[in-house]
Structure 1
Amino acid sequence: MIERNKVSDWWRTRIIDMEPGRIHLRGQPIEDLIGQTGFAQMIWLLVMGDTITGHRATLFEAALVASVDHGPQAPSIAAARMAATCGVGLQSAMATGLNMLGSVHGGAGEQAVELYRECEKAGPEGLAESLDTWRAKHGRFIPGFGHRFHKPVDPRAPRLLGLVDDSAEAGAVSGVYAEIGRAIERHLAEERGKPVPMNIDGATAVIYAELGCPPPLARGFFGLSRSVGLLAHAWEQMEQGGRNKGPTPPEYRWTYDGD
């Protein structure tokens, strides 16, 4: 006979404890959380293992709100809408879009947190060297800065940074990473001779760094946030109808490079 603890210990978790008629999440009865805890706070509780309140909760929710959608030109949203015309269910359409999020589309927030932490270690005098080292390892793009569509400024970034400033003034966060982000912005402007403003990835990365999140969670939280947009667009496309929609109207053809 297999010992019970060998079976029960196959999966080990501090997230949930459950038996018939009882559900505890991170040690708190679910009935005490329902109606008392906001969804963003619930996300934080389950993922991070502690409660988030006040200015810190406001920052976290703001980062989630800011990243929900970026229109059908975003690969993840376009993929979800195309999938919705192929006869799959709503969740499959969402999953199709979510699976488009990778290191290029969806990974800049994680990378920006990593960069900010490297810049913090190097100190103000080592900023330029930190950026050069980053480029040598990862290529010429600095994650979290510049935007191919939103010029001269990504409207989400200043608002998020303003909330970080408010929280830092209240003593809820340090404000260190906001200053690092602004220092990078100034350096890039001087380097290129034109503004290279912080974008949504850079601004949310400031928040996640200020809140003490490990870099991979910046990508995870972005995917969670973007799932809201995926749901909205997939459902809208299902309501609009359409069958087997590709990335362009059928009268537009691709370029054939063969003989």
Structure 2
Amino acid sequence: MTTASAPNAIDSVAGLAADYWRTDIIDIEPGRIHVRGYPIQELIGQIGFAEMIWLMLRGELPAKRQAALLEAALVASVDHGPHAPSIAIAKMATSCGLPLNGAMASALNALDDVHGGAGQQAVELFHDIEARMFDGASLEAATAAGVDAFIAAHGKYLPGFGHRFHPVDPRAGRLLALVDEAAQDGVVGGRYAAIGRAIEALLSGRKGKPIPMNIDGATAVIYAELGFAAPLARGVFCLSRAVGILAHAWEQSGRSERNKGPMPRQLPYRYTGHATRHLTQPESAAAP
């Protein structure tokens, strides 16, 4: 490589690397940090964490009432007790010697389709029902068709409705009341709240008993009303539940328990395998 060509080659490689790691989110140089174009020092002390989440994910700052709705969803989903799998995993991992970051990572990895994915799935269901309404179906007809299609594809469990522990989820009603207030004031449209309630009515009619919306359904209403893409409903839930996970892992770290299992050692599990059996001596190994 000649001396004259070297700077051009370096510039080419630098340009390739810069394009390879391109981002619209953050711009950093020595002594300078801009988040979505805003100098970080102008954001610090001026916006809340919910607004920062919105800015990072959406590219613009939310209106105050939009941020308040997002924050309500974040607050409501923080924790659901040590029997929740993600929290239990954090406690067990901590007792096995993992530091806080390791316990949090172990717990967050459990937030998949079954435990943690219901919010995303509910938003997807709401969007499907909305699309059927755009095609001309009434709210009731679109809801019935959307629910039937979801059950046919995924099974009888409908994300966001009913709860294995709470007859009525105490978080859902408060969140929906906040959505109603926001819809009255024009902050959100209210379409997804109507869809959620139409699903409640449909399920109650089919089951012959109330099947109320739960925390996943209510937060899904909020995320959909605020325009978050369905996968972000799961991502934002993970941000919220990480707080509970951290709190329980930190609490556990102050205890002397080691190798905490999924249940007290005084409680036996049920063995359902073979009765006691023994190896028989192979013929080839028998004495002559």
TM-score by length of 2: 0.88
Secondary structure of the residue aligned to 1:9 is helix
Instruction: Name which of 119, 132, 145 aligns with 2:161.
Output: 145
Secondary structure of the residue aligned to 1:17 is strand
Secondary structure of the residue aligned to 2:254 is helix
Instruction: Give the % identical residues.
Output: 60
Distance 2:91 2:155 in 1: 32
Moved over 6 A (4+): none
Instruction: Name which of 212, 218, 240 aligns with 1:203.
Output: 218
Instruction: Name which of 254, 260, 265 aligns with 1:250.
Output: 265
Q: State the partner residue of 2:110.
A: 100
Instruction: Name which of 22, 36, 58 aligns with 2:32.
Output: 22
Instruction: Name which of 176, 186, 192 aligns with 2:191.
Output: 176
Q: State the partner residue of 1:132.
A: 148
Secondary structure of the residue aligned to 1:240 is coil
Q: Which has the larger radius of gyration?
A: 2
Establish whether residue 72 from structure 1 lines up as the match of residue 82 from structure 2. yes
Q: State the partner residue of 1:50.
A: 60
Aligned length: 258
Distance 2:142 2:56 in 1: 37
Establish whether residue 238 from structure 1 lines up as the match of residue 253 from structure 2. yes
Q: CA RMSD in A?
A: 0.9
Distance 1:31 1:22 in 2: 9
**1:182-221 correspondence to structure 2 within 5 Å:** 182-221=197-236
Distance 1:129 1:46 in 2: 36
Distance 2:71 2:81 in 1: 20
**1:1-20 correspondence to structure 2 within 5 Å:** 1-2=9-10, 3=12, 4-20=14-30
Q: State the partner residue of 2:285.
A: none
Per-residue deviation, 1:189 = 0.4
**CA-to-partner distance for each residue in 1:9-64, whole Å, 9 max, x for gaps?**
12110000010000000000000000001011111101111101222111100000
Distance 1:66 1:19 in 2: 37
Distance 2:31 2:109 in 1: 36
Distance 1:184 1:197 in 2: 9
